[in-house]
Structure formats: structure tokens, C-alpha cells
Structure 1
Amino acid sequence: MNEAQDLFSLLRQSTDVDPRAIDAIKRTIAEGKDRELCRINALAFASKHGLDEERAIGAFLHAARVGLFDISWNVLCPGCGGVLDSNATLKTLQKDEYTCALCSEGYSPTLDEMVEVTFTVSPRVRKIAAHNPHELPLVEYFRQIYWASGVDLPEEDFAKTMEAFSLEDIELAPGEKAVLPVQLPSEFIIVFEPVTHSVKFIDVKGEPTRERRNLSLVFDREHVQNQTLEMQPGPLRISLENRTDTRVLPTVFIAGQELHDLLGKRRPFLTAKRLLTNQTFRDLYRTDTLDINQRLKITSLTFLFTDLRGSTELYERVGDLSAFDLVRVHFQVLHEIVASEAGAVVKTIGDAVMATFATPDRAIAAALRMRDAMRALNEKSGREDLLLKIGVHAGPCIAVSMNERQDYFGQTVNIASRVQNLANAQAIFATRAVVDDNLTADLLHRNALTPVPHEVSLRGIEREIAVYTIP
């Protein structure tokens, strides 16, 4: 543990890491069960230890940066919550479509809910069973490797939970053959293998039979079984052959209420979208997020643009040195507000800021605080030097790598920028996609603010759109 102590000492040198989060992480590494240190769900960890989510995420990011944890970007099936692919970096997420054999569905990956980010303790710090996943017991392989951190699996008696919908299971070493006898009930049966993601569906119905039927399944990673057979209830001999270079874990499930109940229990998890809009992540992992040729979809992201009105006149009026100091303070304040509202500054362009937020309400909360902060700075100086224009819009976009940093592209970005251009001094303009959000509406109601609608034309946009002034 000497190396771990050194890494924790290094972690504590980061002044912006919550000491309570560090203590909770240290206790978990020292005392937690192995499975508690595999693919940690940072949001569930925060809830369990009474931590602020953003502070917990920041602590895990710093801890990963110093070497306490390995980060995993896992592509998920939105249906069953299974992990379809696991990546050490987002750069290796390259497929246009992923197929879930268990659900027999294909999905185009989005960073909103289909990519989770988890943290596993480094083997340098503590060895856990999941560092050798092919040695895990079958039940633990499903718990720790196959199902994602957003599936709310029971902490205790998970084996009994699986027994409720499992008929048979077996472990096959590389090259091994076996026969698995099964008594088929009148149910929909799934023969699923979680290592190769192979599946065979059996629709069992009709009159029971005593005739012994045979089914042959070969696991070789090349031919994923996904056909549906119809059979009568009764005995079945499943001949299994493992042609892979690792063990396989074929399991016979009953696709009944027990399985659906298990997979239907979900909990929040750290999505790739949320992490990309985290300021700590952008600061620590500035250049190694996306490959230059990647184009990753986000279903909905909120963009906030700001600009200073009359900045040229400001430099003329107070001089270059004083104006530079004012603008620098303005950037510092905006940066702090964005980070505290769980957003991230993507870039600055001249006197303008482009920031992203996972949800519209956090962007509006930031905008209101920005406006108040600029007013306070102006009152302190006795002059109206910092006149901030703010525009907010939400919608789909693409995450890209541009100019050696992670950026965003798409019409949503263009609209957000042009909405900001409409704003006058100290004004906040937002689109309908923002003000119609339930959490945003609650926030505005609590602040006794009623958005005023306008129908406007934006350059490059064919139709007029509704833009709201937030007084």
C-alpha cells in the first residue's frame, strides 16, 4: 500500500478536490469488497457517501489522473443495460452501430445514455478479482462485467435473484465440449453466453413431449447465434463447444417477469455526455479525448454563448491595460460560474465564451448568475464597463476534435451563437427548447421570472424560431 499512500498524498495536493471525497475513496479502496472497486458508478458512490455529485466526479477524475483508477468508457444496450463494448479511451469508440444479442437489436451509439464512464481501481493500488474477469464466478461475471453500472442490481443475494430466472449454466474452458441437459418449460427461453455475446432464442409452446431433442451450439466469436427456434415443452440436450481462446459461460434464462424486473431497475450513472461537459475533465484530459476523425452523436446538449457588448469602446475608454484586467476578471468569473453549475467552457473567442451543460436548467442558472456577477462588478467600479450578452439553446449535436481540443459541431451550435447575437446588453435570450424544459421552468418560477417570447429570423435558418427574453 506504500504506492497507494504516495498517490493519495499526491491527490491531496490538488486543492480543488473535495477532502471528504478523497477520504471516502481511500476507505473504499482499503475496506471495500472487490466488486465495489470494479466499474464504480460515481453518482451512486456520491449518493452512498453523502457527497455532491460534481465533487465526487472531480475527485475520481483527479484520482484517475494520478493513477489510483482506470477509466472505462462502456457502450451500453439501452434495452437490457448490458455492456456491448468496453474502451479505455473514448478514441477507440469507432463503430457506427452496436448490436445487443440478448435484445436482438442494433443501436447507433449516442453519448447521452448509451456510453457510461466508470472507474476501476488500478492493480498497482489493489488487486481485485475483476482484474482477471475470466476467473470470476459466473454470477459475478454478469454482475461486474456484463451488466452496466446503471442497472440497479441487488447488493446481497444476487445469486438467488439470478436463480429465479436461470434454468441451467455451465463453464467451458477453451476447446472444451459439454452436454447440458435442460427440461424446457412453457416459456420463452434464452440461451445466452455473455463473453462472446452469443444467443439462441427458443419459443417453447404447445403440448409437452417426452421426446429427447438435441441442439448444438458452437461459440467461436465469428458466428453469433441469434435465431429463434420453436419447441414443445420437455427434455432438451444442448451440445456445447467452445472454439474461443477463453472460457465461455452459457446460461439458460427464462425470459419471464423475474428477468424483466431485474433489468427494469435502473439508477443514474455517469454518461459520456455529462463527463464531456465537466470542467475538471476538460482541464485534466484536454487533448486525449477524441480522435480527429471521430464524430460522436449527442441527442441533446445545452449551449451557452456570451459576449461583451462594446468591448472595443471599452479599450478606447479606459485604456488597454485596464480593459485587459477587466476582461480577464470577467473570464475568471464566468469560468467559475460555469464549473459550479456542472458545465464546461469549450473555448473563448475574443471576448466571447462558449460553454456546454448537460441540461438546460443548469445553463439558465449559470446565465442568471453571470448577469448578477457582471452587475456586481459594474457597481463596484461605478461604471457600466461589463455589458454581457447571453444566448442559450439546446438540441442535438456532434462531438468532434478540432484544433487539438474537444469541440462540438452542428445546427444547434449555430443557433445558440446567433441567439446570443440577438441579445442586447445584460440580456439573456433562450430558445423554446430551453424554456420549455421542466426544470428550467421551475427555476424561472422560483425566481419570479417570466420569459417574454419573440418570433425571430436567424441567418442561415429557413424558418422563424421562438426566442425568449429572460428579464
Structure 2
Amino acid sequence: MDSPFDRTGLRQHVDNNVVSAFEQAIRAAPDVRLNRMNPLKFAAEHGLDLTETISGFLHATQRGIFELSWNVVCSTCGGVLHAAGSLRDVSCETYACALCVWDCEPNLDETVEVTFTVDARIRNIGAHHPDRLPLWQYTRECFWSSGSDLPDNLEPFARNAALAAFEVSSGSSVERFLELHEGTAVLFDPVTHSSRFLEVEGSDTAAMQEVAFSVHGSRGVFETVRVRPGTVKLDVQNLTSERILPILWEVGPALKEMVSRRVPVLTASRLMSSQAFRDLYGSSVLDVNQHFKITRLSFLFIDLKESTQLYGRVGDLAAYDFVRAYFRVVGQIVESEGGAVVKTIGDAVMATFPAPLQGIRAAVAMKKALQELSVARGAREQSARIGIHCGPCLAVVMNDRQDYFGQTVNMASRLQGIASDRILATEAVMEDDDVRAYIDGSGLVTEGFTEKLRGIEPEQAVFAIRA
């Protein structure tokens, strides 16, 4: 390590096993493993709890051990189209991928990943000096995302799909003579994110064919050139102020197989549903004018039933202590299931979870915990209304707080309002394979019916869940 980090301070907030894994990686891991670190992959490789690992990365970032990056990733090739230190610096508009000619909309649970890179003050790695990285190392570490399942040493693997690859310094040009066969090739520069396409078609020719490309530094897909199969003299001129690293990829099965190799990543949506993230970053993650789409997020609303009568029955002080304990227990359960408390509304709590199963397990645990809390306080059993729904929504800032907006949120809230002392879930939740397996294996009883929810058309299929 170039500079030791404060293990003692970190261990006050982070699981010891996670801290030890961080220390081991920073001391001994190859540089590539400390750039754009994928917390899901890191947790799996080290046998760590995922929630604790995500929390650990966040706390370590707060202490200057890692740098956090929000990366807009092309859903087709897995390339990073834009990287920013803050989600505020990510546009809600589309980003164009010049390699696969695809417009990518920043979507927080599909196309925006979150990665962590060791801080240069802790350990200086190659990715801190991208202009010095060799061509294939740059392509591996600076273009492809943490979800691309590629070897640390990319060159031998990529050579199956690359016809040529070369470095061109600023203001200079490079010539290459290539034997091209019928098909399509794309000359892509991962530095400027610009590309040119070569269409090789027609009958073979013995004549020398010349193709010249000038790279100006502008992003995007430029002209397509058509040549015949045979020898092609490729002349690439670099008109930018930095080196470029053009790679001529053969568009075919080898390239398709390479870019389709993926592993799960920490999406922006999943991170924002982490309690540690909300506690550490609060409402600073989004700008008031931003609104990002999320295709699927699970919402849970819980509210104490007849809480007003509770105050009258046991007195203000005892009721206040009970409600505080209830909030604390609910928060602990939400965090243990990898979710986050978004806000409280009176005696109600709104929480989010990356997946429906986490919301269902949390709901069952909340009901049990509330019963135990009532017994411990010597009070009559206090029940709660719980509603769970999953679906698309928008991540927004409302009332100076990172929040969520849309019909999915409304449906979860409406369910909680009619739940009486039950757990109510929508059909979207109950159709989830993991939820069905959990309910079947837990002995829970479900009862389906249709219900008209206020302000929502048409009637909805609703399921009551009882232990």
C-alpha cells in the first residue's frame, strides 16, 4: 500500500471480514482488480455478505480509501459511455455508443452501474494514469464496465475478434496493410469514442485499395466506407491533442461472444436502495431537475394500526417510546434485507428493496417483531398495515430529499391503506419466482381477491399473506 488506511475507524462501521478483504486486496491484488471494483463480484469472491460489502465500500469511500463512480453502460456491448463522480453529472438524455451504434438511455436499474476505484493516496495504480496504459490494458480498464466478464489480460482473448490494433500519438498517422475478407469491420477508438465502419463486399480484387480515416476527437459514428475483399492500406491520422488507440474489430461471432459475457453489477437503483447509502449521502445524490427511470423497484409501506388509540390507552410517554422502538426495529429489518427507509409519514414508513422477495421477507419479519415488541412492553398486541408492490418508477428529489414518484409508489401506499392487520401484495409481487418459492417453503397462507384502489383503474388482483 502506498498509504495505510485507518482500519480502526473503518471497523467502527464496517464488518471486520469486509475490512480485512479490503486490506488484502489493496496490498496484493493486481492493479486491474482495484479499478472499477464490482461490489457484487468482490463479495462473491471473498465469501462476504453483500449488504455488509456495499456498506463497507460506501464507508471506505467516505474515508478516502475508494473513489465512487456512476457509469452509463451500453446495454449491447457493455462499454462505459460516460463516467462521473456524482449522479448529478449524468444526463437524463441518451448516450450514443459508437462501437455498436446504439442509443442508451440512463436507466438506474439497467444501464447505470456504480463502481469503486482505490484512491491514489492509498495505492497508485495504472488506471490513475490512463494516458500511460498500454492499448489493451486501457481498453480493458477504461472502456469496458465492471459487468463485462473479461480476463484481466485482455489481449489474447480479444485477438480472436480484432483484425488490427495500434497506438497513434497526437498529430501523427499510422499505416497498416490488411487482408480483408467479405463482411463488416468497425474501426473504434476507445479514447475518443469515435468509429468508422468498413463494409467489405463484392468480388475479390488484386488492386491495392486505400482507406484514410482522420480522428478529430468528436464522439460518434462517422462515414461508412465500402471496399472489396483483398489488400487494404489503412491510414489513420490523429488530429486530436491526445493519443488514440484504434482497434479494427471484425463484426462477427467472436466479437458478439466477447461483449455478451456479463456478470451482475451494483446498479444505481440497488445502491440507492441501500440504507448505508441513504444515511451517508442523504439527498445530495440527485439534482432537483433530474428524474431517472427505474424499470423495477419494490416498495413497502407499513403503518401502525390504531396508533391514536395507543396514545390514549397507554399515555403519551409510553406510546412515544413504543413508536420510537417500532421505527428502530422496522429500520433494522429493512437494512438487514438490503433495503432502505425512504421516509416516515406520521407512524408510516416507506421503504424500497431491489427485489420483491426482500420486501416480503421484511414484511413477515416486521409483523413478528411488532408482536414481540408488544409483549416486551407489556402492551396489548399492536398490529400494522403493510402493502407491497413492485414496478417502474422515477427517482426524483422531492422536499429536498431523494424520493420516488409514480403509479407503483401510489399502489403500494393504497394497499397499505386497506390492509387492516394483514400483509397485502400485488400480483406483480406474487408472480416473482423467488417470492413463490419462499411462500411455498415458509408455510405462509395466501388469499387472492380483487380490490378497487382509490384513484387507480381498473380493479387490482391483491393477495393477503398470513403466517
Counting matched residue pairs gives 466
Map 1:240-251 to 2 at 5 A: 240-251=236-247
Assess if the C-alpha contact under 8 Å between 1:104 and 1:226 holds in 2: no
Deviations for 1:386-425, whole angstroms, at most 9, x for unmatched residues?
2111000111100011222211111111111001101012
The answer to whether the aligner puts 1:67 opposite 2:64 as a matched pair is yes
Structure 1 position 446, deviation (Å): 0.8
Verify the 8 A CA contact 2:2 2:121 in the aligned structure 1.
no
Any conservation in 2 of the 1:301–1:397 contact (CA below 8 Å)? yes
1:4 aligns with 2:1: no
**Superposition map of 1:34-73 within 5 A:** 34-73=31-70
Q: Distance in 1 between matches of 2:229 and 2:359?
A: 57
Q: CA deviation at 1:283?
A: 0.6
What is the alpha-carbon distance in structure 2 between the residues aligned to residue 226 and residue 386 of structure 1? 66
Q: Distance in 1 between matches of 2:171 and 2:85?
A: 29
CA contact 1:139–1:159 (8 Å) conserved in 2: yes
Aligned with residue 93 of structure 2, among 88, 92, 96: 96
1:170 and 2:166 matched: yes
Matches for 1:438-453 after TM superposition, within 5 Å: 438-453=433-448
The whole-number CA distance in structure 2 between the counterparts of 1:307 and 1:29 is: 45
Structure 2: unaligned runs, 5 residues or longer: none
* Other-structure match for 2:450: 455
Confirm or deny that 1:422 pairs with 2:418: yes
Q: Residue 332 of structure 1: SS of its match in structure 2?
A: helix
Q: Supply the distance in 2 between the matched residues of 1:281 and 1:211 (Cα, whole angstroms).
A: 62
- What SS is found at the alignment partner of 2:220? coil
**Residue 135 (structure 2) aligns with:** 138
Aligned partner letter, 1:12: R
1:38-437 aligned within 5 A: 38-155=35-152, 157-222=153-218, 224-425=220-421, 427-437=422-432
**Deviation at residue 247 of structure 1 after TM alignment:** 1.2
Report deviation, 1:187: 3.0
| Contact 1:314–1:385, Cα closer than 8 Å, also in 2 | no
List alignment gaps of at least 5 residues for structure 1.
Answer: none
2:465 corresponds to which residue? 470
CA contact (8 A) 1:299 1:397 kept: yes
CA distance in 2, matches of 1:242, 1:62: 42
Secondary structure at 1:188's aligned position in 2? Answer: strand
1:40-90 per-position Cα deviation (integer Å, ceiling 9, x unaligned): 011111111111111111111111010000001000000000000001011
Amino acid at match of 1:4: P
Distance 1:335 1:223, change over 3 A: closer
**1:261–1:255 distance in 2 versus 1, CA, 3 Å:** same
Q: CA deviation at 1:223?
A: 6.2
What secondary structure, in the 3-state scheme, does the structure 1 residue paired with 2:351 have?
A: strand
Aligned-residue Cα RMSD (Å) equals 1.4
Cα distance in 2, alignment partners of residues 171 and 58 from structure 1:
40
Letter in 2 for 1:18: D
Secondary structure at the counterpart of residue 288 of structure 1: coil
Q: Which moved more, 1:141-150 or 1:257-266?
A: 257-266
How far does residue 316 in structure 1 lie from its aligned partner after superposition?
A: 0.9
Q: Distance in 1 between matches of 2:244 and 2:19?
A: 38
How far, CA to CA, are the matches of 1:450 and 1:230 in structure 2?
65
Query: After the TM superposition, which of the residue ranges 410-419 and 252-261 deviates more from structure 2?
Result: 252-261
C-alpha deviation, 1:3, in angstroms: 4.5
Deviation at 1:11, TM superposition (A): 1.2
Per-residue deviation at 1:229? 3.4
Distance 2:324 2:130 in 1: 50
Question: Counterparts of 1:294 and 1:420 in 2: how far apart (Å)?
Answer: 28
Query: What is the alpha-carbon distance in structure 2 between the residues aligned to residue 40 and residue 420 of structure 1?
Result: 39
SS at match of 1:225: strand
TM-score for the superposition, normalised by structure 1 = 0.96
- Secondary structure at the counterpart of residue 470 of structure 1: strand
Native 8 Å contact 1:303 1:393 kept in 2: yes
Cα distance in 2, alignment partners of residues 108 and 208 from structure 1: 41
1:67-122 deviation per Cα after TM superposition (whole angstroms, max 9, x unaligned)? 00000100000000000000101111124111111111112210012011000010
Q: Secondary structure, in 3 states, of the residue corresponding to 2:164?
A: strand
Q: CA 1:346–1:223 in structure 2 vs 1: closer, same or farther (change >3 Å)?
A: closer
SS at match of 2:221: coil
Q: Which moved more, 1:362-371 or 1:219-228?
A: 219-228
* Structure 1 CA distance for aligned equivalents of residues 387 and 440 of structure 2: 19
The 2-side partners of 1:381 and 1:48 are apart by: 43
Give the C-alpha shift of residue 183 in structure 1.
1.6
Q: Deviations over 1:153-197 (max 9, x none)?
A: 124x53111111111111112222222322212232111111111
Q: Distance in 1 between matches of 2:286 and 2:170?
A: 36
The 10-residue stretch of structure 1 (35-44 or 165-174) with the greater mean CA deviation from structure 2 = 165-174
For 1:202 and 1:335, locate their aligned partners in 2 and report how far apart those are by CA, in whole Å: 57
Contact 1:292–1:401 (Cα < 8 Å) also in 2: yes
Asked whether the 8 Å contact 1:38–1:130 carries over to 2, the reply is: yes
Contact 1:287 1:404 in 2 (8 A): yes
Aligned equivalents of 1:392, 1:185: Cα separation in 2: 57
Q: Helix, strand or coil for the counterpart of 1:236?
A: strand
- CA drift of 1:382 comes to 4.3
CA contact (8 A) 1:4 1:68 kept: no
2:442 is aligned with what amino acid?
N
Contact between 2:371 and 2:381, CA under 8 Å: does it hold in 1?
A: no
SS of residue paired to 2:359: helix
Task: Compute the displacement of 1:2 (Å).
Answer: 7.8
8 Å Cα contact 2:393/2:407 also seen in 1: yes
Cα shift readout 1:211-230 (whole Å, capped 9, x = no counterpart):
22222212223363344333
AA aligned opposite 1:457? K
